[in-house]
Amino acid sequence: MRMVDLIEKKRDGQALTEEEINFFIEGYTKGDIPDYQASSLAMAVYFQDMNEAERAALTMAMVNSGDVIDLSNINGVKVDKHSTGGVGDTTTLVLAPLVAAVGVPVAKMSGRGLGHTGGTIDKLESIEGFHVEISEEKFVKLVNEDKVAVIGQTGNLTPADKKLYGLRDVTGTVNSIPLIASSIMSKKIAAGADAIVLDVKTGNGAFMKTLEDAESLARAMVNIGNNVGRNTMAIISDMGQPLGNAIGNALEVKEAIETLQGQGPKDLTDLVLTLGSQMVVVGGKAQDLAEARTLLENAIADGTALARFKTFIENQDGDGSVVDDVSKLPQAQYQIDYPATKSGVVTEIVANEVGVASMMLGAGRQTKEDDIDLSVGIVLNKKVGDKVKAGESLLTIHSNREQVDDVIEKLNASITISDSGKAPTLIHKVITE
Ligand code: URA
Ligand code: CA
| Atom 6 of ligand 1: nearest residue by CA position | 180
How far is residue 126's CA from residue 251's CA, in Å, rounded to a whole number? Answer: 9
Looking at residue 372, the DSSP 8-state letter turns out to be -
Q: Which residues contact 145 (CB under 8 A, 6 or more apart)?
A: none
How distant is the alpha carbon of residue 168 from its chain centre? 21
Minimum mean pLDDT range among 104-113, 251-260, 314-323, 391-400 = 104-113
Run of H or E residues at 166: helix 159-169
Model confidence at 168, pLDDT cuts 50, 70, 90, reads very high
Compute and round to an integer the Cα radius of gyration of the chain: 22
- Give 36 Cα–ligand 1 centroid separation in angstroms: 20
Measured from the Cα of 187, ligand 1's closest atom is 3
Strands (E), 354-426: 377-380, 387-388, 393-399, 415-418
Contact 197, 95 (CB under 8 A): no
Cα angle 25, 191, 235 (rounded to 5 degrees) comes to 100
pTM: 0.92
| Atom 7 of ligand 1: nearest residue by CA position | 180
Q: pLDDT tens-digit profile of 116-131?
A: 667 889 999 999 999 9
pLDDT at 355: 92
β pairing state of 427-431 and 231-238: antiparallel
Instruction: Please classify residue 329 by burial: count the beta carbons closer than 10 Å to its beta carbon, then call 0-12 exposed, 13-18 middle and 19+ buried.
Output: buried
Is residue 359 scored above 90 in pLDDT? Answer: yes
How far is residue 177's CA from residue 113's CA, in Å, rounded to a whole number? Answer: 24
- Give 49 Cα–ligand 2 centroid separation in angstroms: 36
Model confidence at 295, pLDDT cuts 50, 70, 90, reads very high
Percent of the chain whose pLDDT exceeds 70: 99
Model confidence at 86, pLDDT cuts 50, 70, 90, reads confident
353 to 78, 87, 358: CA distances (angstroms): 35, 9, 9
Contact 353, 413 (CB under 8 A): yes
- Mean pLDDT of the 203-220 span: 90
Testing ligand 1's pocket by substitution, the residue of 50, 117, 165 carrying the most ligand atoms inside 8 A of its CB is 165
pLDDT at 150: 94
